[in-house]
Chain A
């Protein structure tokens, strides 16, 4: 655990308590950490949460399933597409709905684009906090392109509210696919530049290697998921082990490292972006092939009819009205579904009571559980390394406090 403990005798000096946050540039929002220091070595580290508690779980009990989709956007606000997908897949599981092939490919493509966008920010801000500004700017250039792609298909830059139970809000179209292709063609250039910038950067390496070590067993016991777990040598990815969407049909590999330090977690993120790019390219090809097929399922009780039909057909008008005013009903029961979000295992625990609103919706958010390991990783490290450790865990406070 303690890799760089400075050996001093401070027995005659009282320890110092230092408050970090909630308004601090390197805590990714409103995280507050209370540190106890012995000289410059951290002896105790207590995260204080709840500065962004927006009561999403309480909201879910008062909104219909459709109305709750925008709230999932604002949980992990770096990858709303993943959150949307996780939520609607939970509802689909409770409704026993299978979505169409074309919809699966589109969802996979969008989830992976969201992962790239989230990791670009994670790597960029992580480097920014250690003093490297350029990567952040390069990352944001690519993120803006991804935002444009999201905007062209959903109408919003990142609070997309795009997924629906049984399908998606709007279909993709040839011009949009052309734009995605254009982005994917140009992306790898930036990825290689970023890797050249950081992987051999002496200052960056010294701040990352050997910092915040956690063994694989400890990481599993602390409930770490996602890149933070895979940095410790545990080869577990929900996309591969309990496959959902179209990940089984794609050719890709799980990225993992064995060191368990900040640099390993950073490398996992970099390699995951490459894998995401590979999945995106394959999904785009499949999407082109299936572009003539049906997108949403044929079940007017659940999914909104096309807007054109609402103006022409009485039946569709009634369905639209019922869905908008009352919502669809989910049979009584308890389901849990989790997906591999950019930060880790994002799960929704839905207890339905047969009505149009959830009786109880629990959210298993990866950032929240990952922060539980912060104390274990910080104790014994130097004060300046706490910043690097928080950056390598990459918490998003909207998801931590919900």
Chain B
């Protein structure tokens, strides 16, 4: 079932531009995949239209995540992207929205696809982007008291310091736990 990319690109451009005007920045094609760049204010409405319009029917949300452009010095700092797939029409599209560093918020699409729940929590955990309207935006992979967002480019691979689990040798960790009393007692007995 080959998908006619040019036709889909035309459809996307016409229908979205007609409804949202300049809020649709660009519709581009790369390696056989279509990307729609939109303003972050209209993300929710664009997604709802992409799901409900009979020409698109994007009923499966594949992936939500984020990229941090600070290593390349680009502004705005973050890009949040949604990979959509249509099961009946077997075509794909990617929606992208730029999110600035000062106000890292974007609307949540959990009201459209409930699969966004975990993936948005992960993006929040890893990048610190806040999804407004998410029912339960907590950390998902890192411990709740973790500081920092690991996939940001300014977070080093090895971590800043041992946040969560303190080694016995760390300053302020207190007395090391007496893990081997059995062996010690025996030695003193001898």
Q: CA separation between A57 and B153, bound complex, in Å?
A: 12
Segment of B5-13, B16-24, B87-95, B177-185 in the binding face? B87-95
* B60 on interface, CB distance cutoff 8 Å: yes
A50 and B62 contacting across the interface, CB-CB below 8 Å: no
A334 and B157 contacting across the interface, CB-CB below 8 Å: no
* A155 on interface, CB distance cutoff 8 Å: no
Segment of A181-189, A195-203, A234-242, A385-393 in the binding face? A234-242
Known: A333-B30, A347-B83, A371-B118. A362 touches B65 (CB 8 A): yes
B92 and A336 contacting across the interface, CB-CB below 8 Å: yes
Which residue of the partner chain, among B67, B90, B126, B141, contacts A241 with CB atoms under 8 Å? B90
By a CB distance below 8 angstroms, the chain A residues around B126 are 57
Contact string against A for B residues 20-39, beta-carbon threshold 8 Å, 1 for contact and 0 otherwise: 00000000001111010000
A364 and B63 contacting across the interface, CB-CB below 8 Å: yes
A234 and B87 contacting across the interface, CB-CB below 8 Å: yes
By a CB distance below 8 angstroms, the chain B residues around A242 are 1, 90, 92
Known: A362-B65, A364-B63, A369-B115. A96 touches B31 (CB 8 A): yes
By a CB distance below 8 angstroms, the chain A residues around B140 are 49-50
Known: A223-B114, A241-B90. A58 touches B150 (CB 8 A): yes
A258 to chain B, nearest CB (A): 16
A336 and B83 contacting across the interface, CB-CB below 8 Å: yes
* B130 on interface, CB distance cutoff 8 Å: no
B114 and A222 contacting across the interface, CB-CB below 8 Å: yes
Give the residues from 110 to 130 in chain B that come closer than 8 angstroms, CB to CB, to chain A. Answer: 113-119, 122, 126
A94 and B113 contacting across the interface, CB-CB below 8 Å: no
Counting chain B CB atoms within 10 Å of each CB, which of A236, A349, A402 scores highest?
A: A349
Which residue of the partner chain, among B1, B94, B117, contacts A372 with CB atoms under 8 Å? B117
Contact string against B for A residues 27-51, beta-carbon threshold 8 Å, 1 for contact and 0 otherwise: 0000000000000000000000110
Known: A50-B140, A57-B126, A336-B83. A347 touches B118 (CB 8 A): no
Known: A49-B140, A234-B87. A335 touches B31 (CB 8 A): yes
A222 and B115 contacting across the interface, CB-CB below 8 Å: yes
- Chain B residue with Cβ nearest A338: B62
Q: CA separation between A14 and B162, bound complex, in Å?
A: 39
Chain B contact residues: over half helix, strand or loop, or mixed? Answer: mixed
Interface residues on A, range: 35 or more
* B142 on interface, CB distance cutoff 8 Å: yes
B31 and A401 contacting across the interface, CB-CB below 8 Å: no
B117 and A53 contacting across the interface, CB-CB below 8 Å: no
* A87 on interface, CB distance cutoff 8 Å: no
Q: CA separation between A359 and B113, bound complex, in Å?
A: 28
Known: A96-B31, A222-B114, A223-B115. A347 touches B151 (CB 8 A): no
By a CB distance below 8 angstroms, the chain B residues around A278 are none
By a CB distance below 8 angstroms, the chain B residues around A145 are none
* A207 on interface, CB distance cutoff 8 Å: no
By a CB distance below 8 angstroms, the chain B residues around A349 are 63, 65, 81, 83
Contact string against B for A residues 131-148, beta-carbon threshold 8 Å, 1 for contact and 0 otherwise: 000000000000000000
A152 to chain B, nearest CB (A): 35
Contact string against A for B residues 53-94, beta-carbon threshold 8 Å, 1 for contact and 0 otherwise: 000000111110101100110000000010100010010101
Which residue of the partner chain, among B60, B122, B151, B155, contacts A220 with CB atoms under 8 Å? B60
By a CB distance below 8 angstroms, the chain A residues around B71 are 359
By a CB distance below 8 angstroms, the chain B residues around A50 are 139-143
A336 and B118 contacting across the interface, CB-CB below 8 Å: no
* A272 on interface, CB distance cutoff 8 Å: no
A57 and B141 contacting across the interface, CB-CB below 8 Å: no
B65 and A347 contacting across the interface, CB-CB below 8 Å: no
* A62 on interface, CB distance cutoff 8 Å: yes
Known: A222-B114, A335-B31, A336-B33. A236 touches B87 (CB 8 A): yes
By a CB distance below 8 angstroms, the chain A residues around B67 are 351, 359-360
B114 and A93 contacting across the interface, CB-CB below 8 Å: no
19 chain-A/chain-B pairs, Cβ below 8 angstroms: A50-B139, A50-B142, A59-B157, A220-B87, A221-B114, A223-B60, A225-B60, A234-B87, A241-B1, A241-B87, A334-B33, A335-B30, A336-B63, A336-B83, A349-B63, A362-B63, A364-B62, A368-B119, A371-B118
6 closest pairs, A vs B, by CB?
Answer: A223-B115, A50-B141, A364-B63, A362-B65, A372-B118, A53-B141
List 16 additional contacts besides A220-B59, A402-B141; criterion CB under 8 Å: A50-B141, A58-B155, A58-B157, A62-B157, A221-B115, A241-B1, A335-B30, A335-B31, A336-B94, A345-B62, A359-B67, A359-B72, A362-B63, A362-B65, A368-B118, A372-B115
